Amino acid sequence: MTKVYIKNMVCDRCKYVVRQVFEQSNVFPVTVELGLVETAQSLTSEEQQHIFTKLEEFGFEILADKQAQTVSQIKAFITDYLQTEIPVDTTLKFSVLLADKIGKDYKVLSQLFSESEHQTIEQYLIEQKIQKASELLTYNQLNISEIANQLGYSSVQHLSNQFKKVKGVTPSEFRREGK
């Protein structure tokens, strides 16, 4: 089985495009997840070159080194974690969930991520939560309390404080201004 780590896969549409690129090269992935494609057979150098060139045309980047692969896995996990419409389970610590998913100690992941991205996993998670909150506020289908609950905030005030730090306005102001 071959694993190919891909940067910039952030949504289901990305997974669809990546799957199509592989299949058009007559390579049929076993799984396509955010940041990762697994194939049953090894890729020939010709297949690899063709697929990687096509992926780059769509804005994806192949990750060769282990550190970049792990950082990509962390980002993909965070994206998956926040994409669910089921409220985030706050009884389990995020660090435990991440370490279990990646299969490495959280301290190791945290250090690696900080060195690579020049920010902590927590800072990145907050940015992604606020981005998701912005999307939900724009769609106007949930109230702020429901958004806070879905994203695992302990209160609307906690969400509002983080939102204001990142965006410069409160969630209510953001919604009113239609940003």
CA atoms within 13 A on the CB side of 6: 31
49-58, 61-70, 114-123 — which is least confidently predicted?
61-70
Work out the angle between the directed axes of helices 94-102 and 106-117 (0-180°, nearest 10).
90
Distance CA 177, CA 55 (A): 37
In this predicted structure, the answer to whether residue 113 has a pLDDT above a threshold of 90 is yes
In this predicted structure, the answer to whether residue 84 has a pLDDT above a threshold of 90 is no
Which class would CATH give 2-64? alpha beta
CB burial of 2-32 (b: ≥16 within 10 Å; e: otherwise) equals eebbbbebeeeebbebbeebbeebebebeeb
pLDDT recorded at residue 85: 61
Distance CA 133, CA 144 (A): 9
Model confidence pLDDT, tens digit, residues 119-132: 999 999 999 999 99
pLDDT recorded at residue 179: 61
In this predicted structure, the answer to whether residue 133 has a pLDDT above a threshold of 70 is yes
Structural domain boundaries in the chain = 2-64, 67-177
Question: Chain-wide mean pLDDT for the chain?
Answer: 89
Report pTM.
0.72
**CATH of segment(s) 67-177:** 1.10.10.60
pLDDT band per the 50, 70, 90 thresholds, residue 82: confident
